Amino acid sequence: MISLEDLRMSVTLARSESLSAAARHLNVSPPALSMRLRKLEAVLGLTLASRDARRLSLTADGERFARQSALLLEQLEALPESFKQQNDQLVGTLRLAAPFGYGRQRIAPLLARFARLHPQLCLQLDLRETPWPDRHDSDAVIHIGNLNDSSWVARPLTPNDRWLCASPAYLQQHGAPASPEQLAGHRCICIRENDEDVTLWHLRQGQERKTLRIKPAMLSNDGSVARRWAEEGLGLVLRSQWDVSQSLAEGRLVRVLADWRFDSAPINVLVPSKKLRSARVQALLSFLETALKT
C-alpha cells in the first residue's frame, strides 16, 4: 500500500541533491529515509534511485513515479478548496520561497497582512539563498534579477534599480568617483548571488553605455552584510534600492554616480502554469501585485 508519506518522499527525493538533504527536508534521519525508500521499492518491484552518501539520482522509473506523486499531491492539496466555507475563506497550505534579505524585509510583513485576510490558510515562508521552483517544494517563488530557464511562469511584481553607495566617512577619506572609470581606484564591495558575474558592472547614461570589470576588495553572498560593510566605511557597494533606501534616508549611506544607471534587478514571482495554479496561489499573486505597486 502506497501512503501519502511515500508520495512526499518521492517528490522530495526528486528535488534533493543527496539522501541527507532529502532527510533534512523531511525531518528524518538518512538511515530512516533509506529504509523507507527500500520498502517503497519493494512494494513497487522497482528501483527508484541510486544513492550514496554524497549523491542521489533517480532512475527513469523513479522520475516517473516522482512526477505522478507530485500531481497526486497537488490534487489532494487542492481538494479542500472545493469545500470552501460560505464566507469564501481560502483553506489549505500555501508555501512561498524568497531570498533571505528581501524575504525578511519586504515579503514577511506582506504575508502577515495576507494571513489576516485569510485566517484559514496555513502559510509557510521558506527563505533561501537562491530559491528556484524546479528544485524545491514551493507553490510560488520570489526571484530577484535575471531569470534562468524554468518551466514556471514569471510575473513581474515591481522594478528594482541598483544604486552605488558609500558611507560619508568613506567619501570624506577617499573622495567620490566623478566617472565610472575612477571606480578602479576605489574599494568595491561585491555581492555574489544567482550565479551572476558580480564583478562585471554595466552602466548607461542616456545613449552612452559602459562595462567595467571590478576587482572586489570584499565579497559576500549576503547583501545585508555587504551593505553593513559599506555603512562602516569599507568601500562602495552596488545594492538594490529596496535595501539601501532607509540607510540613505538616515544618512548612513550616500548615493554616488547618481547620474549613471546600473543594470536593474526586477522583482518577479514565479508560479506554475495556469492549469496547475490553485486558488490560493491566484489570491497571493493578486495581493502581492497590488501591495508592491502601492
Q: What is the pLDDT of residues 21-36, one digit of tens each?
A: 888 878 888 888 888 8
Tell me if 247 sits within 8 A of 105, measured CB to CB: no
Give me the mean pLDDT over the 250-257 stretch. Answer: 96
Q: Does 151 share its domain with 193? A: no
Domain of residue 279 covers 85-157+267-291
Q: What is the pLDDT of residues 42-87, one digit of tens each?
A: 888 888 888 665 677 888 888 888 888 877 877 776 666 555 544 5
Q: Does 203 share its domain with 224? A: yes
Q: What is the pLDDT of residues 262-292, one digit of tens each?
A: 988 889 898 877 655 678 888 998 999 888 8
Which residues, in sequence order, are bridge partners of residue 127? Answer: 98
Q: Does 199 share its domain with 116? A: no
C-alpha cell belonging to residue 146: 535575471
Q: How far apart are CA 142 and CA 93, in angstroms?
A: 17
Q: Does 257 share its domain with 172? A: yes
The share of the chain scoring above pLDDT 70, in percent, equals 87
Q: How many domains does the chain have?
A: 3
More confident residue, 22 or 190: 190
**What are the CA-CA distances from residue 48 to residues 40, 62, 153, 216, 264 (Å)?**
9, 4, 29, 45, 43
Name the DSSP class of 263.
P
Give me the mean pLDDT over the 84-103 stretch. Answer: 78
Model confidence band, residue 176 (pLDDT cutoffs 50, 70, 90): very high
Q: Does 142 share its domain with 274? A: yes
pLDDT number for residue 258: 93
Strand, coil or helix: 201? strand
Which domain-ending residue is among 79, 114, 133?
79
CATH classification at residue 198: 3.40.190.10
Tell me if 101 sits within 8 A of 243, measured CB to CB: yes
**What are the CA-CA distances from residue 238 to residues 115, 201, 225, 235, 245 (Å)?**
34, 9, 12, 10, 12
